[in-house]
Amino acid sequence: MRRNMAASLFEHETISTTIQKAKEVKPFAEKLITVAKKGTLAARRQAIAMLGDRDIVETVDGKPVRKGTVVGKLFSELGPRYLDRPGGYTRIIRLSQRRLGDNGQLVLLQLLGADEAPKKKHRTAKQRPHTRTEPATPEPKMAEKATEAVAESQAKETEASAGSAGAQGADTAPENS
């Protein structure tokens, strides 16, 4: 089942299935695309061993016409499409429909297009670069309060020293009468 669904995914680039089957096929298909990115003969043989090499057949005027093979499409179209992408070649989109009979949740399993950018990776604490080389400075509010307090205390000191100097000068100054 997994090989047939992966081959159908590579052939049609989107398939509709249940959520459980899609979650099973997704890692298998992504591993095959990663193998196809290598493009070597050994990688092609590995893909044939994992997937099989069935034909892609389309009907034209009521007659079947062979268009190639699944592995050929995987190596000629899909592998080069994802060369600069490190992973995440497929996506699962949940549908609001339910399957008749067993009421299973239906989803679309799709290959991403070449123009779709990968999601931004969230960094964890271990991955964040350590750039702080100087000690942490206090918060700006705290720093502003500290400078205001220093300025107030200096102002009080100057007022006190000016007031005491003025009082001393009045007492010691000679009287000119």
- Strand 63-69 to 90-98 pairing: unpaired
Residues 152, 89: one domain?
no
| 68-111: pLDDT as tens digits | 999 999 999 999 999 998 989 999 999 998 989 999 999 999 99
| 32-82: pLDDT as tens digits | 999 999 999 999 999 999 999 899 999 999 999 999 999 999 999 999 999
Q: Does the residue 159 lie in any domain?
A: yes
User: What is the rounded average pLDDT for all residues in the chain?
Assistant: 82
Q: What is the CATH number of the domain that holds 105?
A: 3.90.1030.10
Percent of the chain with pLDDT over 90: 55
Domain of residue 48: give its range. Answer: 2-111
Q: Is the pLDDT of residue 129 over 80?
A: no
Residues 96, 159: one domain?
no
Beta bridge partners of 64: 59
- Between 12-26, 94-108, 119-133, the lowest mean confidence (pLDDT) is in 119-133
What is the value of pTM for the model shown? 0.64
Q: Does the residue 150 lie in any domain?
A: yes
